[in-house]
A and B are shown apart, each in its own frame.
Chain A
Amino acid sequence: MDQSLVRNFCIVAHIDHGKSTLADRILDLTHAVAARQMREQYLDRMDLERERGITIKAQAVRLRYHPPGAPDEYELNLIDTPGHVDFTYEVSRSLAACEGAILLVDAAQGIEAQTLANFHLARDAGLTIVPVVNKIDLPAADADETARELAELVDRRPEDVLRVSAKSGQGVEELLGAVIERVPPPRGRLDAPLRALIFDSSYDTYRGVVAYIRVVDGGIAGRSRIRLMSNGVVSESEEVGAFAPDATPLPKLEAGDVGYLVIGVKDVRLAKVGDTVTSAEKGARDPLPGYREPKPMVWSGLYPAEGGDYSLLRDALDRLKLSDAALAYEPESSLALGFGFRCGFLGLLHMDIVKERLEREFGLELIATAPNVEFRVVRGDSEMVEVHNPSEMPPPGTYDRVEEPFVLATVVTPSAYLGPVMELCQSRRGTLVDMKYLAPERAEIHYLLPLAEIIFDFFDQLKSRTRGYASLDYDHWGYEESSLVRVDILLQGEPVDAFSSVVHREKAYQYGKQMVERLRELIPRQLFEVAIQAAIGSRIVARETVRAKRKDVLAKCYGGDITRKRKLLEKQKEGKRRMRRVGRVDVPQEAFIAALRVETTPAGTSGGRK
């Protein structure tokens, strides 16, 4: 098709601002889906996405639209992007596949942290922004005020801001008109060597990796010899096509087109998001800019609750990895938990999703250790070790410094809650970078914070201190030196590796105290007194004691009691079998799960004014 009749765009929004509903209405308006097949959140295909109301995987859907009164029919490619900070890189690649972005804001909520983050991403990608206020029919809507805020943000006049109700469909026709009018058509060179951007991929058991691509230059036919530019892998592609919205094979895709490519490889790691596809012969010289290796930011040990399930877990991770290039894992063993894997994730939401998929799709019961960030231990000028597991942190005095990852966090909050928000950031070792008012009652603040301080209960705390009104987003900043120490938890003098944690020196005592108190409640009394200690190196910083058990016997045991008593003991024996032994101390599995449980909501999974 003539590139001038193609528009590639995406919708970006803060969570719950109506992105999926707007996508549904656009599908309706372009008759993409037969009415009887239509369902809510049409483009979110995973159960997990639908249950959580979030988008994890990108989708690209090709629509045909003839604007009323216009001479031509247009091809619209709508790319539905993930909406979470864990997937910022994936989002940036989806944006790079577009020329324009609808920036959607809930009229009752106003601009939120993810609105800002998405806007900056889209602007940096050079996209034309189409500002839209959604939910204008809500009683609490303040469309004028939201339009004013939004116009100021994108540097347009309030009249340029469109107003829609994605729910009723009001204004959506006009919005599509504006997309055609304002978003420039792609301007790829048809005669140049092939360059196509992979902006996401999925895994099909029969066909292997299906890459979602945007052809930037040249063209690609269904069966061709192609080369992946980041790793030089050459393959015979099997099919090209577009999602309309179901996969529809096409003879070829050309510059400006968005669609899919069945690459002909079985491992998603070979076709990573951000990579460039070119022809095997006479291919392009330079890849498209912006490729990055996926980099896990958060690590956690995953152990099967039943030791015998280790190989099952390994197979499950191997399978999951085929469709999740960002997941990293390496075998590790724990004295307390047995054999398992240290797994790396993009963030807490990613970790949650992986754990839930392992449990749901593979029927595993897992124990996850408390997540931690990656530390860099530096010796001298040149030696640097990456530590993914706190128990591998070398003892104090054997290194020069430790670095930890920092993020640049954006918080949008009603001005009335600025104080509590700043207090929270300050208490999490934050440094104020910038602050400005979006409106007299709404402020935007930027803090430099250690990632480790964000991944636990920061988001929950932020919500509770602002009655749910504040929103959060962040960008990775880089590594900075920090005063970090390893805190070990000891049972009867034996360290329990699964409970070791690397924390800031000033918080080490607090962590140790909290952990030993929690464990005192969780560890059942034994035949002897059990000392639970927290230690930094050889220095004990907190101690609790589980008193020795004194009585465990049935007072009476005659005739018929014997059967009952034996059955009781058999049950106890079964319970004991499920205990983990640390030195001489029996620790129930439940104690590990409870002690390691992180009471947290991944940042950005729900938000807005409540």
Chain B
Amino acid sequence: MSGDAAGLYVHVPFCLTRCGYCDFNTYAGLDHLAGRYVRALAGEAALAGPSWAGVSFVSIFLGGGTPTMLSSRALGELIGELRGRFDVTASAEVTTEANPDTVDTPSLAALREGGVTRLSMGAQSFDPTVLAALERIHSPQAARRAFAAARAAGFDNVNLDLIYGAHGETLESWERTLREAAAMRPEHLSCYALTVEPATALGRKVAAGRIPPTDPDVQAEMYDLACSVLRQEGYRHYEVSNWARPGFECLHNLGYWEGRPYLGLGAGAHSYRDGRRWWNVRPPQQYLEEVESGRLPLGGGEVLTDDERRMERLLLGLRVAEGVPVEWIDGRQGEEFVEQGLAEVRAGRLTPTDRGMLLANDLVLALAEP
């Protein structure tokens, strides 16, 4: 683990519409702030830059929200700005998230031109009823079209995001979505079990009894299906919700799980370095005011205790296929996991099995016992 190989995250809090399940820091109808917001990001980079001098950044990740709500030119200029303020390696992985409805071949080509090397597209499902349940406004065709456009624009590292376990989705429908996604041959696939967050439209519907809550057993079935279908298709399962062709793992996200430092820019973005975590104010308006007044838009922070660091290292380490060094854990407990088929011991590391990854919370709790 190279301690200095940092990641740079940029948060873009704009969306065309809010999806019912989403609890991210993102807003529909704030597009008019876009210009000011991009300038503020550059401003924040200028304020934060000096304290990150000497740290080498191996990835940039533009997330949201919907970064592609901003023009490709603006995004390209932003990437250039960041490269000027920070020591970003020449071969850095530069990802942007993209919504199928906000991109076409010219805009994607412009992104590539602007320095984006990796595209992460929110396809979510290829079943129209599931897309409707998720309140996604795009059609399955839009995702196919956007994917083809990415290829046409020259992207050779593309991720598709999928969500499973929404109300009404059957195992058969999920399998069709999986097979269709795999048939498109993306380099990377993220498959997320739908999580019902209380403070969302979906959460309120579930609380009111209008939609049944997600069934963890059904989601586990779907997860098993993803593991087997994607293995057949040549993808490696390297994190709870992530699969990639060898060599195409997301360098930026691996940084989070490996405990490498990261700097977050933008409203509500989180940063981490040397056992300290801090975050920016969440409301975009407040973020703009802070940065425009020349202040770092700090919202809060914490310094992790040794126990908390240990807990984090375990909870992150047991999410990934690489697992954790056996020295970190109580050997007897590890053996018990091996017996139960939840983990394996390989090359001095305890590595979770597919089944174990889906129970990572329990593994951590058992290992974190005093």
Which residues in chain A, 324-342, are within 8 Å of chain B measured between CB atoms? none
CA distance A570 to B359 in the complex (A): 16
Instruction: Return the contact of B365 from the options A547, A555, A562, A573 (Cβ within 8 A).
Output: A573
CB-based contact A560/B268 at 8 Å: yes
**Which residues of A, 551-608, contact B by the 8 Å Cβ criterion?**
551-560, 562-563, 565-566, 569-570, 572-573, 576
Measured between C-beta atoms, what is the minimum distance from B8 to chain A in Å? Answer: 11
User: Quick check: is A477 within 8 A (CB to CB) of the other chain?
Assistant: no
**How near does chain A come to B268, taking the closest CB pair, in angstroms?**
7
Report which of B192, B217, B315 forms a contact with A569, defined as CB distance below 8 A: B315
- Cβ of B113 within 8 Å of any chain A Cβ, yes or no, is no
Is there contact, CB below 8 Å, between A559 and B319?
A: no
Cβ–Cβ contact A556 & B219, under 8 A: no
Q: Which residues of B sit under 8 angstroms from A555, Cβ to Cβ?
A: 192-195, 240-241
Flag whether B269 is at the interface (Cβ < 8 A). yes
A557 touches B358 (CB 8 A): no
Given A556-B195, A566-B311, A566-B312, CB of A576 within 8 Å of CB of B270: no
The chain B residue with its CB closest to the CB of A552 is: B361
Q: Is the CB of A557 within 8 A of B319?
A: yes
Restricting to B203-232, which residues have a CB under 8 Å from any CB of A? 216-217, 219-220, 223
Indicate if the CB atoms of A562 and B277 lie closer than 8 Å: yes
Q: How far is the CA of A360 from the CA of B368 in the complex (A)?
A: 36
User: Across the two chains, which residue of chain B brings its CB closest to A556?
Assistant: B192
User: Are A559 and B264 in contact, CB atoms less than 8 angstroms apart?
Assistant: yes
Interface size class of A (residues with CB under 8 A): 20 to 34
Contacts A555-B192, A563-B277: A569 and B361 contacting too (C-beta < 8 A)? yes
Contact with A along B59-72 (1 / 0, CB 8 A): 00000000000000
- CB contacts between A and B, total, < 8 Å: 96
B interface residues, how many (CB within 8 angstroms): 43
Q: Are A551 and B219 closer than 8 Å at their CB atoms?
A: yes
The answer to whether B340 and A528 touch across the interface, beta carbons within 8 angstroms, is yes
A565 vs B194: C-alpha distance when bound (angstroms):
16
Nearest-neighbour CB distance to chain B for A111, whole angstroms, equals 51
Of the candidates A527, A566, A576, which one forms a contact with B315 in the assembled complex, judged by CB atoms under 8 Å apart? Answer: A566
Which residues from 276 to 319 on chain B have a C-beta closer than 8 Å to any C-beta of chain A?
A: 277, 279, 302, 308, 311-312, 315-316, 319
Q: How far is the CA of A189 from the CA of B296 in the complex (A)?
A: 98
Q: Kindly state whether residue A550 has any CB partner on chain B within 8 Å.
A: yes
Contact in complex: A562, B340 (CB < 8 Å) = no
Residues in A3-49 with C-beta less than 8 Å from chain B: none
Min CB distance B278 to A, Å, is 10
**Alpha-carbon distance A547/B357, docked complex (angstroms):** 18
What are 6 A-B pairs with beta-carbon distances under 8 A?
A527-B340, A553-B240, A553-B319, A556-B192, A560-B268, A563-B302
- Can you name 18 extra interface pairs (CB under 8 A) apart from A551-B219, A560-B279? A550-B359, A554-B195, A555-B192, A556-B192, A557-B256, A558-B253, A559-B256, A560-B264, A560-B268, A560-B269, A562-B256, A562-B270, A562-B312, A562-B316, A563-B302, A566-B312, A572-B365, A576-B365
The 6 closest A-B pairs by CB, nearest first: A550-B220, A560-B270, A552-B361, A553-B360, A555-B192, A551-B216
